[in-house]
Structure 1
């Protein structure tokens, strides 16, 4: 309760009253250690049509992608303002330490998935974009992939490609595969990523995301 009051700037008495009301609506749950988010928030999140549908459509392809590439983990990410939100991750128990949590927002410039999204969403004539970044983003668009080696997770590298809308009019998401940095089969991994991206686009054409 003290932490909620401090971070919200609301008095403890008002915080307590509001928290109890949220508990009554199922938005918070009271535990011996304090308050935590309630189940109803999760249920509401599943009602957001675009992201939840995209995740449902893409998941079988992501499972196949991880098996085909023998990746440590694969991710599905979408843009949200200046951030990247990870909708899904496929990995094993041993990889839990290197995985971004589903639903987590991360600044786009801190991830390789974000770089891909910036390449397709950022305006080339934006004066706020430095010349070196503009050059990097143009290169990503030309080759249709981006990568990072050991910057986020020591000993691992990540390759990422865009997922286009069914009409290929714009990029709606990014899929990525994280593998051991010593592997030398980047072309095979990229080929699998591009194939998975195309499959997700075809699946969206059959069951559009609204």
Structure 2
């Protein structure tokens, strides 16, 4: 059972297209398996559509439609055929990935510390977005950290806990700059998450400083 969801503000920003690409893909992964949040996004999209219908239309300039149609026709007749965008490389990370990640590049697991590995997720529309998969061994503690902005972490497998509660498969942890925490993975199995930051994660301790560049 999913117990932790994105805030309504985040779901509204997702629906309106104002959420940054990294957090947006993490929320999309969550909504793909959470009917409650998928429904809320649909409600916000419908609300935005109703607002557009209420906006008073602007009168078009004389001949504006003819000029627009002429430009479309000229573009269609002179357009060069282009090759489709190359498919981003996808490594086998050992789990079935959510449908929302279809079309994303998936890097191989890389060691960053005892019991901790990461895989870079590359977005087709924004290759600079800082999105990653994290795989943490059973019982392992992640570095204590806080945030400048917000951190979005969706659990794909296993579970972790911090002072605020326990997060299992399907849960999304949205942590803002008021949160300072140290996630601890359950003892009965590894935990795999997809994570993105809107802002910056501030890691503490020696290990945290060593891997800080991965988190921006």
Same fold (TM over 0.5): no
Q: Which has the higher contact order (CA 8 A, sep 6+)?
A: 2
TM-score if structure 1 supplies the norm length? 0.24
Rg comparison, structure with higher value: 2
Q: From the two aligned structures, give the one with the greater strand fraction.
A: 2
Query: TM-score normalised to the size of structure 2?
Result: 0.24
Structure 1 or 2: more helix by fraction: 1
